[in-house]
Chain A
């Protein structure tokens, strides 16, 4: 067989196919499991933890489902046990602080939350240090101006002192999130731990009584975690449900309220066509009578 002298030209192609650089890079990417703890305190009462577990591969982060963790307060001893949690399909697990740990919580201003993965009890999966704090919201109307005052306090040296430089959102709770009360997106507490915001938005719809919920929210603060406080105020425009369309004749109401034009068209077509059918049946009867008379 005669050898093709140009066959060597195929070699670079074969080489390129066999040595896919992307494939080599993909193999070298190391997957890393991430465990994160978050502390929440809603309205200075409800305290809970959310654990987030995910797998980071390159730039891709995937939530890990059905992973079991034990949560502890300050140290992973049985008496400090908070709860055993299992992550859901979003990679998250939630636990409230049990009443049994009230004394331990009040004993110190600074606390550490510890997460330990089941099967890896000897190592800590995640830690979170939290300084005890509280958040307060107040409102006032001064010469027609509606003001919102939010104060954040931290527990230090056995007393509550103002917490400054705390960034937060202050606004009105809406369906899709928090609508900022003023012109700024976020506000930061001053040396007195206070934020003063003027509600610049008028005529916002409230509930049926005109109530709306004011919110101050601290998110992922390194010292205090996530704090939330809410207050209901009658500053909204009372919502009047418009039920008038129930009485209207529309295409989407019940059959008893069909539009007149539709009824007119439907019935006139039906009567016209069925009238013709009845007329034709009568004609057949006439044909029959003529035939019977002829025989």
Chain B
């Protein structure tokens, strides 16, 4: 209750800050002529990144016949759906004039990566929603059967959504085929969503963004933060819903291996992204890189590298580190580090244009978000958590039918 109330309060503060932004305009933010993409876009990239976990845990693991991940699929999918919803919303917030969103469809140019992003985000949302819904159908049948344990309103909702599921052979066959098809489709779409997001930056000739490697760099980072997010959610759900029987230490051990592999991969891409330009130290890149390595953003940069990658790797490399609590801590580090990493990708570049900043007020040379920006960003994060919270209170966070079937298959194999 306290958790939900706190999230609602943060959302309300965010809504008030947005009301102020609508009333007074984007001037309430600290974004100016140079930094026109601030904390909102950092948050957008973060949400898009974390949403990719749906395709990793659900689709890639499912197609690769990785059975142990089955109890985690719904956690991953709800994270994906809620994150992608708020990624879309935060873009509208960044636009300043929300009614102009319509212009994007009326006058949008297919040549623009922004248009591709709009299309691919919408598509990914629908596929994720289907991937959340289809495996939920057998569980809805179970929930309807135990109507005495749920409220009348919830039972009505379950009936509306899944009363037609009888578990017949034909239904099972169609459902299984559809889920497999969804898993196949969602992988390229997921790759597209984050590659296109990376192209929003990489197609712009700016220090720090001018990279041919950005798509792979973003996707590896997205898988890492998504897996980190799942680990955090696993720990919280396991502890507060007493799911020790379903989310076991073995799940943490295996997810730990996944996270450490992804962290190493992302670290490798980071070395590529920073070492190669730093080795050449081209004049326009120099100001940007020195600001990151030793300048204004140095503490944030090294914090993101250490907390987001190196420390989690050091924790998770060891078997003891892959136990639930250390895994939770490492997962939190990955998520927090990833958020700051997105901020570092977006903002410092904008402060280092190719042409010198001249005849502009002093405030244009720096960027630190205003309270409205912080409130809206935190509100959107609280919104993501609120969607997950409500979902977990209404639906089973562990796929009941699938987990039981897997268990039966395993027992039969024995």
Contact = CB atoms under 8 A, between A and B. Distances in A.
Interface in B141-183: 163-166, 168, 170-171, 174-175, 177-178, 181-182
Contact of A280 (B110, B111, B119, B178): B178
Nearest to A286: B174
A38 to B, nearest CB: 25
A255 B109 CA distance: 4
A239 interface: no
B126 interface: yes
Nearest to B162: A291
B81 to A, nearest CB: 15
B168 A254 contact: no
A273 B125 CA distance: 12
A287 B111 contact: no
Contacts of A288: 164
B314 interface: no
B182 A280 contact: yes
A277 B174 contact: no
Contact of A266 (B116, B166, B171, B175): B116
Main secondary structure of the interface of A (DSSP, over half): helix
Tell me whether chain B's interface is mostly helix, strand or loop, or mixed.
Answer: helix
Interface residues of B, number: 30
Interface string A248-264: 00011111001100110
A280 B181 contact: yes
B134 A284 contact: yes
A294 interface: yes
Given A255-B108, A258-B110, A266-B110, A290 B170 contact: yes
B127 A291 contact: no
Interface in A122-141: none
B188 to A, nearest CB: 8
B208 to A, nearest CB: 23
Nearest to B122: A274
A251 B111 contact: yes
A292 B109 contact: no
A276 B12 CA distance: 38
> Which residue among B134, B164, B166, B182 has the maximum number of chain A CB atoms within 10 Å of its CB?
B164
Interface in B111-141: 111, 116, 119, 123, 126-127, 130, 133-134, 137
Interface residues of A, number: 29
A200 interface: no
Contacts of B6: none
A145 interface: no
B23 interface: no
Contacts of A283: 174-175, 177-178
Interface in A265-295: 266, 269-270, 273-274, 276-277, 279-281, 283-284, 286-288, 290-292, 294-295
A288 B166 CA distance: 9
A287 B171 contact: yes
Given A290-B171, A291-B171, A280 B130 contact: yes
Given A287-B165, A291-B163, 11 more contacts: A263-B110, A273-B127, A273-B189, A274-B123, A280-B181, A281-B130, A284-B178, A288-B164, A291-B166, A291-B168, A292-B164
Interface of B: 107-111, 116, 119, 123, 126-127, 130, 133-134, 137, 163-166, 168, 170-171, 174-175, 177-178, 181-182, 185, 189, 192
10 closest A-B pairs by CB? A291-B164, A255-B109, A288-B164, A283-B178, A294-B166, A251-B111, A291-B166, A258-B110, A287-B171, A290-B170
